[in-house]
């Protein structure tokens, strides 16, 4: 599934609140202002009069270099340049390092309804934090049916047909000290080409449906240490009913994957039958995944020993 970022928007007021920005143009209405791209722009070339390929949909950030260049312009040229710059429908201007706006900036900001914001942060620091935050807020996303938990620091997404026992496994893992992120509906965002972040819809956060009992609140029942808001998804465990005669992977030499939003996630299919401790299997899968990340593959190590024995 491929979803374009411009399907999502962030209200400018959210950015102001998150970054602690000061609004220097209170007369400008920002209630309908939003941001739809995570990239930013420093209008250096535009101040020199070059407006081809100008990314006006981006946040415009001005640091000490641009500000000094603008201050040293001839008044007539500065006025003409700023008028042209503010005539574009840009989301906002941000002045870094506590820089104060020039009078012409305030004039054209009010005329074209473009807010000017201010931060005390250094330009590079501010840019890095804004891009990181917007990448998450504007990330492509989807919702899947399953349960997401933090098991030994690994994000385990448990999937399977309704009634297979996903919530019961989650409940047992929570009792063992692991943390719940989402039950039933898992919202997934693609924050990079390698990372998927899962969370829970606000409406059902911390709730678990247990058939035969009803709805329980994991946070209220087991404490704040039993829940978590977000988690990177490292592994998928797909539960399915045991089928007699079906061949299941017993070695784990070859990994299977599930593709979500274009990213591939390792997936283990685990057959469900009476007597299997699924919570312990999930814990083992999480630990095994961590070992592989650290360079140790138990299946490969055993295979190497066997091959060495045969060749020897």
- Rounded to whole angstroms, the Cα distance separating 237 from 206 reads 21
Q: Are 194 and 182 in contact (CB under 8 A)?
A: no
- Rounded to whole angstroms, the Cα distance separating 101 from 240 reads 62
Tens of pLDDT, residue by residue over 80-136, are 999 999 999 999 999 999 999 999 999 999 999 999 999 999 999 999 999 999 998
Q: Tell me what pLDDT residue 166 has.
A: 93
| Domain limits, the chain | 5-137, 141-303
Q: Count CB neighbours of 105 within 10 A.
A: 23
Helix (H, G, I), strand (E, B) or coil at 231: strand
List C-alpha distances in Å: 201 to 160, 183, 301.
19, 10, 41
The architecture in CATH of the region 5-137 reads: 3-Layer(aba) Sandwich (3.40)
The CATH number for 141-303, chosen from 3.40.50.300, 3.40.47.10, 3.40.50.2300, 1.10.287.70, is 3.40.50.300
Q: Tell me what pLDDT residue 283 has.
A: 96
| pTM, rounded to two decimals | 0.78
Q: Which two tokens stand for residue 143?
A: 């919702």
Name which of 182, 173, 146 is nearest 278 in CA terms. Answer: 173
Q: Tell me what pLDDT residue 5 has.
A: 43
- Averages of pLDDT over runs of 10 residues in the chain (312 residues) are 58 95 94 92 92 93 94 92 94 96 94 96 95 92 95 96 91 96 95 92 92 90 94 96 82 87 94 89 94 89 85 72
- Rounded to whole angstroms, the Cα distance separating 29 from 11 reads 13
Q: Tell me what pLDDT residue 274 has.
A: 85
Q: Tell me what pLDDT residue 8 has.
A: 84
Residues annotated as catalytic (active site), given as ranges:
145, 166, 184, 250
Mean confidence (pLDDT) of the chain: 91
Name which of 17, 8, 62, 12 is nearest 37 in CA terms. Answer: 8
List C-alpha distances in Å: 180 to 167, 225, 307.
10, 9, 41
Q: What angle do CA 17, 22, 26 make, to 5 degrees?
A: 105
> What letter would DSSP give residue 258?
E
Q: Which two tokens stand for residue 301?
A: 């190590």
């Amino acid at each position: 599934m491929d979803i374009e970022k411009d399907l999502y928007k962030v209200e400018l007021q959210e950015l102001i609140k998150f970054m602690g920005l000061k609004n220097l143009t209170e007369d400008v209405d920002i209630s309908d202002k939003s941001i739809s791209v995570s990239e930013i722009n420093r209008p250096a070339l535009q101040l020199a009069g070059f407006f081809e390929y100008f990314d006006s949909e981006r946040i415009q950030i001005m640091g000490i270099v641009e500000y000094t260049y603008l201050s040293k312009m001839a008044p007539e040229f500065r006025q003409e340049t700023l008028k042209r710059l503010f005539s574009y429908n840009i989301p906002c201007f941000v002045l870094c390092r506590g820089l104060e706006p020039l009078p012409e900036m305030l004039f054209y900001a009010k005329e074209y309804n473009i807010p000017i914001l201010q931060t005390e942060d250094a330009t590079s620091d501010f840019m890095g934090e804004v891009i990181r935050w917007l990448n998450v807020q504007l990330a492509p996303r989807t919702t899947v049916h399953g349960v997401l938990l933090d098991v030994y620091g690994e994000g385990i997404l448990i999937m399977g047909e309704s009634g297979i026992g996903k919530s019961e496994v989650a409940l047992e893992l929570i009792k063992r000290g692991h943390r719940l992120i989402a039950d039933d509906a898992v919202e997934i965002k693609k924050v990079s080409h390698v990372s998927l972040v899962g969370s829970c819809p606000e409406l059902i956060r911390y709730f678990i449906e247990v058939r035969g009992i009803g709805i329980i609140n994991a946070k209220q029942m087991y404490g704040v240490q039993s829940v978590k808001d977000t988690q990177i998804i490292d592994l998928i465990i797909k539960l399915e009913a045991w089928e007699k005669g079906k061949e299941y992977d017993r070695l784990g030499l070859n990994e299977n994957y599930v593709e979500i939003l274009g990213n591939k996630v390792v997936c283990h299919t685990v057959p469900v039958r009476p007597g299997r401790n699924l919570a312990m299997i999930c814990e083992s899968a999480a630990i095994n995944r961590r070992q592989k990340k650290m360079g140790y593959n138990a299946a490969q190590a055993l295979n190497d020993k066997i091959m060495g024995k045969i060749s020897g």
